């Protein structure tokens, strides 16, 4: 018997109004695994991620996170569960009047926890933003914003990282830097799931890590073979 999956989907269906976005989704994300989620634009990659962190509820089927079914969780339970997950959204939102370091530390502030300033500086250095600690978000480049979003997502030492098109607005060199950070997180034992349409990024990752590729196609979730 292996370790319990960090996230499990059993026969999950989701749709808007009369339309079915996907159905019969079954997936088990093991601790320390690395997955890519790919599929055409509009296939539902962002919706799929939102189901994984409890932002949406399935029409039918079960989503189980850290051994607990999401449907039965109260708001406090969902909040506790989310502290164990780091989510990097496609359009990272920051509070423009706060310096970068405070933006990165926001999840701690919300959870009423403090962070050792040295640890915060170390985290910013890890994502290559030590010199931008006091900068305000509007002055940051796209790549700096994405790296800041990743730092904010991991500040609570989550067990799972979910990243939605983290390289969507940056050049190839920056994409590879972000990928390196995600691979490092995975090597620290964290489960990582990256939604992306960039097949070159997936190919680059496969040279560094045993990544599995999931594809949303025809409203189903498929495990893509070696045909990338």
Would you list the DSSP string of 112-149? T----HHHHHHHHHHTT-GGGTT--GGG--HHHHHHHH
Which residue range(s) make up the domain with 77? 1-84+200-228
- Report d(CA 150, CA 154) in Å as an integer: 6
What number of helices (H) and strands (E) belong to the chain? 8, 10
Q: What is the DSSP letter of 41?
A: T
End-to-end CA distance of the chain: 31
Residue 134 lies in a domain: no
Residue 183 lies in a domain: no
If one counts the domains in the chain, the total is 1
Residue 54 lies in a domain: yes
Contact 108, 155 (CB under 8 A): yes
Helix locations, the chain, DSSP H: 45-52, 75-83, 100-104, 106-110, 117-126, 142-154, 172-187, 199-206
- Report d(CA 227, CA 136) in Å as an integer: 43
**What's the CATH code of the domain at 32?**
3.40.50.300
Instruction: Return the exposure string of 2-21: e unless at least 16 CB atoms fall within 10 Å of the residue's CB, then b.
Output: eeebbbbbeebebbeeeeeb
Residue 225 lies in a domain: yes
Q: Name the nearest CA neighbour of 132 among 182, 86, 94, 188.
A: 94
Q: How many CB atoms lie within 10 A of CB 118?
A: 8
> Over its length of 228 residues, how does the chain's per-residue pLDDT go in tens digits?
356 899 999 999 998 877 888 889 999 999 999 999 998 888 889 999 999 999 999 999 999 999 999 988 998 999 889 999 999 998 889 999 999 999 999 999 888 888 888 999 999 999 999 999 999 999 999 999 999 999 999 999 999 999 999 998 889 999 999 999 999 999 999 999 999 999 999 999 999 999 999 999 888 888 876 555
């Amino acid at each position: 018997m292996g370790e319990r999956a960090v996230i499990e989907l059993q026969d999950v269906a989701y749709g808007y109004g009369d339309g079915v976005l996907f159905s019969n989704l079954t997936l088990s994300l093991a601790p320390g695994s690395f997955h890519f989620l790919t599929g055409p634009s509009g296939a539902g990659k962002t919706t799929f991620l939102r189901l994984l962190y409890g932002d949406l509820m399935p029409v039918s089927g079960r989503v189980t996170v850290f051994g607990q079914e999401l449907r039965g969780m109260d708001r406090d339970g969902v909040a506790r569960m989310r502290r164990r997950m780091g989510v990097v959204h496609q359009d990272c939102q920051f509070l423009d009047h706060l310096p970068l370091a405070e933006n990165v530390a926001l999840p701690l502030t919300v959870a009423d926890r403090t962070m050792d300033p040295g640890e915060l500086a170390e985290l910013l250095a890890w994502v290559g933003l030590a010199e931008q600690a006091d900068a305000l978000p509007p002055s940051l480049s796209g790549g700096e914003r994405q790296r800041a979003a990743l730092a904010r997502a991991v500040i609570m030492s989550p067990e799972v990282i979910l990243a939605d098109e983290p390289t969507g607005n940056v050049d190839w060199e920056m994409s590879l830097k972000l990928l390196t950070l995600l691979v490092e997180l995975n090597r620290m034992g964290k489960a990582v799931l990256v939604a992306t349409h960039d097949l070159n990024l997936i190919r680059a990752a496969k040279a560094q890590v045993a990544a599995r590729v999931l594809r949303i196609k025809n409203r189903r979730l498929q495990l893509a073979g070696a045909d990338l």
